[in-house]
Chains A and B, each alone.
Chain A
Amino acid sequence: MTETIYKDDSFSLNNKISLRQLQALLFLEIFGFGVTALPRRVAEHAGQDGWVGVLLATGFIIIMTAVMTHVTKLFPQTSFYDIVGKILGRPLGALISLLFCLRLVLLAAFNLRIFAEITRQTMLPTTPFAVVFVSMLMIAAYGAAKGIESRARVAEVLILVVLLPLIFVFGISGRDIDFSNLMPVMAAPFESILAGSFSAFFAFSGIEVLLLVGPFLARPKHLTKSSTQAIVTIGIFMAVITAVTIARFGPANIVHQMWPVLKMMDTISLPGSIIDRQGALIMTFWIISAYATINAALFFSSLLLKDVVTRGKHSWYILGLIPIIALVAHWPTHMADVYTYFNLANRTLGVATMIVVPLVLFAVASIRRMGRGQA
Chain B
Amino acid sequence: MGKHKGLKFLSKFGVVAVVLFVLLSFNWDRIELESRAFVVTIGIDVAKDDDKPFEVSMNISDTAAMEQGGDENPVVKRNASGESLAHAMGQVEAKISDKIYYGHTKAVVIGAEVLEDSDLLREVIDTLSRKNDINIKCIIMATDKTAAEILAAQPQEQGLLGVYLASFYNSNNANTASSVVKLDLEGLIVSLRAGQSAVIPKITLEGEGDEEEVTIGGVAVVRDFARVGYIDEEDMRGFLWLTENGAGTQIAIETESGHTTMLTSKSRARMDFYEEGGRLHCLARLNVEGSIEGALFMEEQLFDADNLAALEERFAGKIQGEMEDIFRILQKDFAVDGFGLKEKLRKKQWGLYQKYEEDWPLAYDEMIFVARVDLTIRNTGAVK
Contacts and interface: CB of A to CB of B under 8 A. Distances in A.
Q: Do chains A and B touch in the complex (CB under 8 A)?
A: yes
B135 A127 contact: no
B97 interface: no
Interface in B129-174: 132, 135-137
B350 interface: yes
Interface in A212-258: 249-250, 252-253, 256
A95 to B, nearest CB: 39
Given A183-B348, A267-B135, A267-B137, A124 B28 contact: yes
A122 B186 CA distance: 18
Contact of B347 (A121, A184, A276): A184
Contacts of B193: 252-253, 256
B347 A267 contact: no
B49 interface: no
A43 B262 CA distance: 45
Interface residues of B, number: 19
Interface residues of A, number: 24
B357 to A, nearest CB: 12
Contacts of A184: 346-348, 350
Contacts of B28: 124, 126-128, 131
A267 to B, nearest CB: 6
A314 B344 CA distance: 58
A122 B132 contact: yes
Q: Interface SS of chain B: helix, strand, loop or mixed?
A: helix
Interface string B198-238: 00000000000000000000000000000000000000000
A39 to B, nearest CB: 16
Contacts of A128: 28
Contacts of B29: 123-127
Contacts of A267: 135-137, 186
Contacts of B346: 183-184
B190 interface: yes
A250 B343 contact: yes
B328 interface: no
Nearest to B189: A253
A269 interface: yes
Contacts of A121: 132
Given A121-B132, A122-B132, A252-B193, A269 B347 contact: no
A121 B28 CA distance: 14
Interface string A171-200: 000000000110110010000000000000
B14 interface: no
A343 B304 CA distance: 73
Nearest to B184: A267
A7 interface: no
B294 interface: no
Contact of A181 (B103, B132, B137, B347): B347
A267 B190 CA distance: 15
Q: Interface SS of chain A: helix, strand, loop or mixed?
A: loop
Contacts of A131: 28
Interface string B175-190: 0000000000010011
B350 A269 contact: no
A61 B346 CA distance: 32
Nearest to B347: A183
B127 to A, nearest CB: 15
Interface in A110-134: 121-128, 131
A276 B104 CA distance: 9
Interface in A82-122: 121-122
B296 interface: no
B94 interface: no
B350 A187 contact: yes
Interface string B318-359: 000000000000000000000000011011101000000000
A124 B137 CA distance: 22
A277 B189 CA distance: 20
Contacts of B348: 180, 183-184
A180 B344 CA distance: 9
Nearest to A122: B132
B194 interface: yes
Contacts of B103: 277
A137 to B, nearest CB: 15
Contacts of B190: 249-250, 253
A269 B343 contact: no
Nearest to A181: B347
B343 to A, nearest CB: 7
A76 B350 CA distance: 54
B202 to A, nearest CB: 24
Nearest to B104: A276
Interface string B233-250: 000000000000000000
A187 B351 CA distance: 10
A303 B190 CA distance: 49
Q: When A and B form their complex, which 5 residue pairs have the shortest distance between CB atoms, in order from nearest?
A: A183-B347, A127-B28, A184-B350, A124-B29, A187-B350
Given A123-B29, A267-B136, 16 more contacts: A121-B132, A125-B29, A125-B132, A127-B28, A184-B346, A184-B350, A187-B350, A249-B190, A250-B190, A250-B343, A252-B193, A253-B193, A276-B104, A276-B135, A277-B103, A277-B135
24 contacts: A121-B132, A122-B132, A123-B29, A124-B29, A125-B29, A125-B132, A127-B28, A131-B28, A180-B344, A180-B347, A180-B348, A181-B347, A183-B346, A184-B346, A250-B194, A252-B193, A253-B189, A253-B193, A263-B136, A267-B135, A269-B137, A276-B104, A276-B135, A277-B135
Interface of B: 28-29, 103-104, 132, 135-137, 186, 189-190, 193-194, 343-344, 346-348, 350
Interface of A: 121-128, 131, 180-181, 183-184, 187, 249-250, 252-253, 256, 263, 267, 269, 276-277
